[in-house]
Amino acid sequence: QSVNESYSLYCDISQLTEKDVEYFKSILAPSALSQDESDLEAFNNDWMHKYRGQSKLVLKPSSTEQVSKILKYCNDNKLAVVPQGGNTGLVGGGVPVFDEIIISTANMTSIRSFDTVSGALVCDAGCILEVLDNYLAERGYIMPLDLGAKGSCHIGGNVATNAGGLRLLRYGSLHGTVLGLEVVLPDGTILDNLSTLRKDNTGYDLKQLFIGSEGTLGIVTGVSIMTPKRSKAVNVALLGVSSFENVQAAYKRSRDELSEILSAFEFFDKGSIDLVKKHLVAGKNDPLESPHPFYILIETSGSNKEHDDEKLNNYLEGLLTDEIVQDGVVAQDTTQYKNLWAIREGIPEACSKVGSVYKYDLSIPVPVFYQMVEDMRNRLDKEGVLGEDKSVDSVIGFGHIGDGNLHLNIPANSYSEEVINIIEPYVYEWTAKHAGSISSEHGLGLFKSPHLHYSKSPSMIQMMRRIKNMLDPNGIMNPYKYLPEK
Ligand code: FAD
C-alpha cells in the first residue's frame, strides 16, 4: 500500500503548530511531553525496525482526564494521533505513518484494585503485562494471558490488539476474560465500563468493540480483567517428533489424556530451534541430544502435583511406546521450566537477529498447518531466493497448535520488494482457500489492512467502516491503518 496515496484520503488532518504544543504543555507535567528527536526515536520505530514514522511530539498523560483533554483538543483541531503502549506490536499499528502525535500510556501504571475473592483486577492501561503477573503471583493468581513480549507490552496494548499468546488454550481470549474497560473516545467522552461483574446482560456489550480495535476507535485507559488462581503444580515437557502428523496425534491425545490440566501445547520446527541455538543464550540449553524435524512444548497446570505427574508420565510413556514422539524431557525445577519456555519464547527474537523478518500470523485448519510452510519454502526455493548466501535465510513455522495459529516466519538479510511479491498475495490466497484468517492474533495495523478482504466479506468491511465513521468522524484515531482504502 502506498501511504502517500492514503494520505490524500485524510487531507483534512491538520499540521501540528506551536500553539497546539502550548496547549498540551498547559495540561501535562513538563516531563510528560517531548519534542526531542532522540527521545522520539524509540516511539517512531517499531519492534521489527520495519515501520518508521516522523512524529514530532509524544505525550505521556498520567490520568484518564488528561487523555480526555488531549483527545478532545485533537478532535476539535483535527490533529491525528497514534495510541502507543509498549510498542511491541508486529503489524506497524503502534507507530505513526507520518507525523501523527503519539499518545503513550507509559505513565499510566496504577493498579486500581484487586479482589482476592473473585480475582477481578482493575488497572491502568499502561501496566506492563509481566508486572501485573508478578503482582498477582504474590497473591496466588495469574494473568490469563502470556506472551514473549510480556516484559514490555502494556495491558492496554494487549486489549487493543486482542493479544492471544501462550495461555489462550487454557483461559480463552480477552473477549472472554476482560470484564470491563474504560475508554476515551475521540471527542473526549470517557466511557466508563470498568465493571467487575462476570455476568451483565444489560444492553450491547460495548467493550467488545474496543477489544482488537487497535487504537482506531478510542484510547483504552483502564482494564478490568478476570484472573484465575495460579496453579500449584506446573509441569513442562519438550518433545522431539519425527513428523507433523505425529504432532497432531500427540495434540489429540493430550486433549483426551491430560484434558483439564493441559495449559499449553506449542509446536516449532527444526528451523526455529536452529535459529534460537545460533542467536540466543536460551539456545545453548537444548536438552534433547539429537535434532528432530518437529518439537512440542507441552505444559500442564493443576492443583495436585502427584496426580498431574502421574497423568503426564502416563501420557508421555504412551507417546514413546507408540512412537508418536522420539524423545522428550520434563523440567525438574523452576530453572529448567524457564529454560524450556525460553527456547519457544525466543523464536521471534532469534528470527529478528538475522536482519529482517517477513512475518505471517495465520489461522489455518491444523491438518494443513505445516503444508503452508512447505509450500512457501518450495516457492521461495524455486524462485532462487532461499538458501545460503541468498537473500532469504530460511522458512520456519511455529505456533499455538491448540489455537490453530501458525506463525510463518521468513528471516532474511533485508526486506526486498522482489521477495514480498513472491510471498504476497500467495500467502493470503492460500489462507483464504483453506478458510483461514490472515491475522490470527497480531491484528491488522498498517501491514494487513489492504488485505482484509481475504478474511472478511464486503458487507462486514462496510459495517466496520460505519462504526469507525460513527465513533471517529474526523478520522483522527490511528489513521491509514486497520481498514482498507475505499
Ligand atoms: P503497541 O505495540 O504499543 O500497540 C499495538 C496496537 O494497539 C497499536 O495499534 C496501538 O495504536 C494500539 N494501542 C496500544 N495501546 C492502546 C491503548 N491503550 N488504547 C488503544 N489502542 C492502543 N501477540 C500475540 O497475540 N500473541 C503472542 O504470542 C505474541 N508474542 C509476541 C512476542 C514478541 C517477542 C513480540 C515482540 C510481540 C508479540 N506479540 C504477540 C504481538 C502483540 O500484539 C503485542 O506484543 C502486544 O499485544 C501489543 O501490546 P503493546 O503494549 O506493545 O502495544
pTM check: above 0.90: yes
> What are the residue ranges in the chain where pLDDT is below 70?
1-11, 486
Helices (H) and strands (E) in the chain, counts: 18, 16
Give the domain range for residue 262.
233-348
Ligand 1 atom nearest residue 442's Cα: 43
Same domain for 417 and 405, yes or no, is: yes
Same domain for 18 and 102, yes or no, is: yes
**What local confidence, expressed as pLDDT, does residue 287 receive?**
83
Give tens-digit pLDDT for 461-480. 999 999 999 999 999 999 99
CA distance to 139, 235, 309, 335, 430, per residue, from 305 (Å)? 20, 9, 6, 18, 44
Same domain for 323 and 409, yes or no, is: no
Same domain for 339 and 361, yes or no, is: no
Residue having the nearest C-alpha atom to atom 32 of ligand 1: 148
Q: Tell me if 83 CB under 6 Å of ligand 1.
A: yes
Same domain for 22 and 100, yes or no, is: yes
Q: Report how far ligand 1's centroid is from the alpha carbon of 94 (Å).
A: 8
Residues in the chain: 486
Query: Hey, is 106 helix, strand or coil?
Result: coil
What is the per-residue DSSP string for 356-417? EEEEEEEE--GGGHHHHHHHHHHHHHHTT-BSTTSSB---EEEEEGGGTEEEEEEEESS--H
Q: Report how far ligand 1's centroid is from the alpha carbon of 49 (Å).
A: 15
Point out which residues pair with 104 in neighbouring strands: 84
Question: Whole-angstrom Cα distance, residue 429 to residue 438?
Answer: 9
**What local confidence, expressed as pLDDT, does residue 286 receive?**
74
Cβ atoms within 10 Å, residue 110: 14
Q: Report how far ligand 1's centroid is from the alpha carbon of 161 (Å).
A: 6
Q: Could you tell me if residue 460 is inside a domain? A: no
Same domain for 219 and 279, yes or no, is: no
CATH number of the domain enclosing 428: 3.30.70.2740
What is the per-residue DSSP string for 166-216? TTHHHH--HHHHEEEEEEE-TTS-EEEE----S---SS--THHHHTT-TTS
What is the per-residue DSSP string for 320-355? HHTTS-SEEEE--SHHHHHHHHHHHHTHHHHHHTTS
Q: Report how far ligand 1's centroid is from the alpha carbon of 163 (Å).
A: 7
CATH number of the domain enclosing 264: 3.30.70.2190
Question: Whole-angstrom Cα distance, residue 87 to residue 45?
Answer: 8
Task: Look at residues 160, 121, 164 and name the one whose alpha carbon lies nearest to residue 146.
Answer: 164
Last residue of a domain, one of 348, 380, 405: 348
Q: Report how far ligand 1's centroid is from the alpha carbon of 82 (Å).
A: 13
Q: Tell me if 222 CB under 6 Å of ligand 1.
A: no
Last residue of a domain, one of 198, 226, 254: 226
Cell triple for residue 310?
Answer: 502421574
Side chain identity at residue 198, one-letter code: R
Last residue of a domain, one of 301, 328, 348: 348
Same domain for 372 and 451, yes or no, is: yes
Same domain for 340 and 358, yes or no, is: no
Interface predicted TM-score of the whole assembly (ipTM), two decimals? 0.99
Q: Report how far ligand 1's centroid is from the alpha carbon of 65 (Å).
A: 24
Q: Could you tell me if residue 486 is inside a domain? A: no
Helix (H) or strand (E) holding 84: strand 81-84
Q: Could you tell me if residue 485 is inside a domain? A: no
Ligand 1, pocket-test mutation among 100, 101, 153, most atoms within 8 A of CB: 153
Give tens-digit pLDDT for 197-237. 999 999 999 999 999 999 999 999 999 999 999 999 999 99
Same domain for 282 and 335, yes or no, is: yes
**What local confidence, expressed as pLDDT, does residue 313 receive?**
97
Residue having the nearest C-alpha atom to atom 1 of ligand 1: 87
Query: CB-based contacts of 278: which residues, under 8 Å, 6+ apart?
Result: 350, 353
CATH number of the domain enclosing 58: 3.30.43.10
Ligand 1 atom nearest residue 159's Cα: 47
Task: Look at residues 273, 301, 288, 264 and name the one whose alpha carbon lies nearest to residue 336.
Answer: 288
Q: Could you tell me if residue 315 is inside a domain? A: yes
At 55, give phi and psi (nearest 5°).
-60, 145
Same domain for 165 and 185, yes or no, is: yes
CATH number of the domain enclosing 126: 3.30.465.10
Q: Could you tell me if residue 418 is inside a domain? A: yes
Q: Count of domains in the chain?
A: 4
